[in-house]
Amino acid sequence: MNKNTATYQTTCSYCGVGCGIEIEKDPKGKLKLKGEETYPVNRGMLCSKGRTLNYVVEEQQDRLLYPQMRWSRNHELQRVDWDTAIKRGAAVFRSLIDRFGPDSVGMYVSGQCLTEEYYIANKLTKGFWGTNNIDTNSRLCMSSAVAGYAKTVGEDTVPIAYEDIELADTFFITGANPAWCHPILFRRIEQHKENNPDVKLIVADPRKTQTAALADIYLPLRPGTDTALHHALGRILIEEGYLDVDFIEKHVQGYEAYRDQVMQYTLEQYATTCDLDPMLIVKAARMMGESEGFLTMWTMGLNQSAQGTDKNLSLLALNLITGQIGKPGAGPFSLTGQPNAMGGREVGGMASLLAAHRDLMNPDHRQEVADFWGVPEISPNPGYTATQMFEALDRGDMKAIWIVCTNPMVSLPDTALVERALKKARFVIVQDISGRSDTVAFADLVLPAAGWLEKEGTMTNSERRISYLPKVVDAPGEALPDLEILLRFAKQMGYHGFDYQNAEEVFLEYTRLTKGTNIDIEGLTYAILQEKRSVQWPFNKVTQEGTTRLFTDHQFYTADGKAKLHVGANKGHSDMLTEDYPLVLTTGRIRDQWHTMTRTGKVNRLSKHIDKPFLEIHPEDAARRGIKEGSIVVIRNDRGEVQVNATLSDKIRKGVVFLPMHWGKILSSAFARTNNLTSRNIDPVSKEPDFKYSAVEVTLY
């Protein structure tokens, strides 16, 4: 290594696994990257996406380099300086708030944002604009898990640590394909299973994914029947005496109602609902019941559902009735999608939250935060969530939106509505790093942001691990860190309380707001994070240690300290299958692409795995429609259509078809956008959209 080569440790900016990366920067600025050998998350490993992150930083052709603005929708965007851009944006938001009230504007942010950016975006909207209209694309990702945890253990809390993977003897992975979507964690499961042949894996999924290929028991359930499967498993665990009676008596509320609920139906009835062999369910339940350490792992397959909260509650129940929580190798483990979805929720980054897990609906919590920020009050009005914001723009109830680091024209359900909403909005700000975002075309003001390695801040991964990300290179052109843009905007609007010297001052302010809460990180500094590399919250400022595992004392974050079993939350409606639309469309990710491909799409080697959008369909469903391998097909419903090539596979259930969610108009065509077809049905509690269940028909082109 050249003696002038500098070395940095940072965290991968793609998924919630949060792998450690070591960067070498040579004197010419060239970057070399590898997995950080000593980082406890990945132990030197990186997946295909993480291994190519340096190309994303170095390849800059797509980058937004300077602010752009247009005076009306009849004009093209034109380059302007930062001063002009910030003055115009601030003036428009000020005049809309004055004229139509604070709820006429909103901000839509991202699980990619750093914690400090999230915190300031919340402070600006909830504290100073006076509206709770700030939501994040984490709404599309983890909000059903958040609702499940909050109702069960009292707060949005992932109790386990990744080291529990090597301590567990049984895994139940449902509604997730970590082999592709959380590869490093799955690699740890694979290695653990290789080293310990008695370790068991149960996988439930309508598609026999690469994760399912490793399963000892594979449950190819009918889409949407997850709660029935969880109840069936609960029933067998009760009937066959696998309960931890002592744990339930001392630490769980609501067991009798839960038992009565799951006993309402016979095993055969559950099996018919799920279209599963009843004996497979029995075998899976026995495997769980006999386990010493049992981890449940799930993600979008359960969360992205109009019944997502119910699915989470019924799954969490399995850990509670068996006492498999708060001990090594056991517990519920929601696999977070985005790298800082958890950090964002911690600072209150959703329409329904306040910082440090405070509840927006609690007047005392609102006043605490208002006093801390030095503002008279936080509005008691619930804010619009992600899909609701675009519906409000469409109705004219919201007039302007500021979109930060996310691409709703590709990622939100029902693209036709999103497009209509953006066209009807009086003012749209898009703040992003890339011009490859389909949403940029709808902006009145484009603000170029710095990306990964071009700014500093912190993130929290899905085991509550907070890490510090240093600035390594300068941002191209005039791009600025998102935090700097937010602060300039707030100051231009004349608000006090936004005079920070650097990102750490923002972080330290947030840590003070956590004092005395369950996620207390008071006393944590950038210096401590740089020295320790990472800390799992809560952090003890006296010992300067984090917390590996929660609930080891079996005291949950509820008023009486007991966890709660729930039956039958409010269920939302999914599409009905009809003669015209008889197939269930489910959507998801592929191994080597990330979200709407604004970064991974520019790395050639990542396209070698799968280079274009496709429809996966069972050979019998295809034959009935005259579809062959590679045929161009039209997938259609009343909301829109998608045209792609068909891939025939007997690994997907009959009656179900799959589309990857990545491609948009810029990277393919308007007819490749999967969300042309998905519905705005949402879970009534979590408000998470129903991406995994849309009724469609497929025909030859």
692 binds ligand SF4 (CB under 6 A): no
Q: Which is nearer to ligand SF4, 34 or 193 (CB)?
A: 34
Q: Is 105 in the site for ligand SF4 (CB under 6 A)?
A: no
* Contact region with ligand SF4 (CB under 6 A), list: 13-21, 64-72, 192-200, 441-449: 13-21
Give the alpha-carbon dihedral of 518, 524, 530, 533, to 10 degrees.
-20
Toward ligand SF4, which CB reaches closer, 12 or 615? 12
Find the part of the chain contacting ligand SF4 (CB under 6 A) among 15-23, 76-84, 370-378, 523-531. Answer: 15-23
Q: Is 15 in the site for ligand SF4 (CB under 6 A)?
A: yes
Q: How far apart are CA 176 and CA 19, in angstroms?
A: 19
Among 177-185, 472-480, 548-556, 682-690, the segment contacting ligand SF4 (CB under 6 A): 177-185
Question: Does residue number 47 form part of the binding site for ligand SF4 (CB under 6 A)?
Answer: yes
Contacts (Cβ under 8 Å, ≥6 apart) of 364: none
Footprint of ligand SF4 on residues 48-77 (CB under 6 A)?
49-50
How far apart CA 57 and CA 543 sit, in angstroms, is 38
For position 14 contacting ligand SF4 by CB under 6 A, the verdict is yes
d(CA 461, CA 48): 19
Per CB under 6 A, 20 contacts ligand SF4 = no
Shortest spacing between CB 48 and ligand SF4, in angstroms: 7
What SS3 state is found at 485? helix
Q: How far is the CB of 189 from ligand SF4 (least distance, A)?
A: 13
Among the listed ranges 43-51, 105-113, 420-428, 536-544, the one in contact with ligand SF4 (CB under 6 A) is 43-51
Q: Please, what is the minimum distance in Å from the beta carbon of residue 139 to ligand SF4? A: 21
- The kind and range of the H/E element at 416 are helix 415-424
Q: Are 350 and 136 in contact (CB under 8 A)?
A: yes
538 preceded by a cis bond (ω within 30 of 0)? yes
Judged by CB under 6 A, the residue of 17, 320, 425, 490 near ligand SF4 is 17
**H or E segment at 621?**
helix 619-624
- CB of 149 or CB of 180, closer to ligand SF4: 180
Q: Which stretch binds ligand SF4 (CB under 6 A): 9-17, 85-93, 113-121, 282-290?
A: 9-17
Q: At closest approach, how far in Å is the CB of 185 from ligand SF4?
A: 7
Among 96, 153, 160, 184, binds ligand SF4 (CB under 6 A): 184
Amino acid at 291: S
Residue 25 or 595: the one with the smaller Cβ distance to ligand SF4 is 595
State which of residues 9, 10, 12, 453 lies at the interface with ligand SF4 (CB under 6 A): 12
For every residue of 637-673, DSSP letters joined together read ETTEEEEEEEEE-TTB-TTEEEEES---TTTS-GGG-
Which 346-375 residues touch ligand SF4, going by CB under 6 A?
none
Would you say 11 or 322 has its CB closer to ligand SF4? Answer: 11
Query: Cβ-count burial of 245 within 10 angstroms (0-12 exposed, 13-18 middle, 19+ buried)?
Result: exposed
Residue 18 lies near ligand SF4 (rule: CB under 6 A)? yes
Q: Could you tell me the two tokens for 391?
A: 């519906």
The string over 662-681, giving b where at least 16 C-beta atoms fall within 10 Å of a residue's C-beta and e elsewhere, is: bbbebbbebbbbbbbbbbbb
Structure tokens at 226: 């997850």
* Contact between 178 and ligand SF4 per CB under 6 A: no
Q: In angstroms, what CA-CA distances link 364 with 185, 493, 516? A: 39, 28, 15
CB of 16 vs ligand SF4, minimal distance in Å: 7
Which residue stretch of 180-188, 432-440, 534-542, 686-694 sits at the interface with ligand SF4 (rule: CB under 6 A)? 180-188
Comparing C-alpha atoms, which of 34, 615, 682 is closest to residue 309? 682
300 binds ligand SF4 (CB under 6 A): no
Which of the stretches 42-50, 257-265, 282-290, 682-690 binds ligand SF4 when contact is defined by CB under 6 A?
Answer: 42-50
β-pairing, 694-700 vs 656-660, is unpaired
User: Which one of 45-53, 111-119, 219-227, 630-638 is the stretch in contact with ligand SF4 (CB under 6 A)?
Assistant: 45-53
Distance of CA 10 to the CA centre of its chain: 20
Q: How many residues bind ligand SF4 (CB under 6 A)?
A: 14
Q: Which is closer to ligand SF4, CB of 46 or CB of 238?
A: 46
Comparing C-alpha atoms, which of 593, 601, 588, 640 is closest to residue 437?
601
Residue 23's SS3 state is strand
Beta-sheet strands, E only, within 170-255: 170-174, 200-204, 217-219, 252-253
In the complex, minimum distance from the CB of residue 18 to ligand SF4, in angstroms, rounded to a whole number: 6
Answer yes or no whether residue 46 interacts with ligand SF4 by CB under 6 A: yes
146 binds ligand SF4 (CB under 6 A): no
The single residue among 130, 159, 183, 660 that binds ligand SF4, judged by CB under 6 A, is 183
Rounded CA-CA distance 648/686 in Å is: 35
- Stretch of 178-186, 372-380, 433-441, 530-538 lying at the interface with ligand SF4 (CB under 6 A): 178-186
Residue 33 vs 698, nearer CB to ligand SF4: 33
Closest CB 647 distance from ligand SF4, rounded Å: 24
Nearest residue (beta carbon) to ligand SF4: 50
CB of 184 to ligand SF4, least distance (A): 4
CA 502 from centroid of its chain's CA atoms: 27
Provide the minimum distance between the beta carbon of 603 and ligand SF4 in the complex, in angstroms, as a whole number: 12
Beta carbons of 316 and 699 less than 8 angstroms apart: no
19 is an interface residue for ligand SF4 by CB under 6 A? yes
Shortest distance (Å) from residue 50 CB to ligand SF4:
2
SS3 107: strand
Ramachandran class of 162: left when φ > 0, alpha when ψ lies in -120 to 50, beta otherwise: alpha
Q: Smallest distance from the beta carbon of 407 to ligand SF4, in angstroms?
A: 18
List, in sequence order, the alpha helices (H) in 290-414: 300-303, 308-321, 341-346, 363-373, 386-395, 408-411
Task: Pick the closer one to ligand SF4 by CB: 284 or 661.
Answer: 661
CA atoms within 13 A on the CB side of 450: 22
Q: Does 337 bind ligand SF4 (CB under 6 A)?
A: no
Binding region for ligand SF4 (CB under 6 A) = 12, 14-15, 17-19, 42, 46-47, 49-50, 182-184
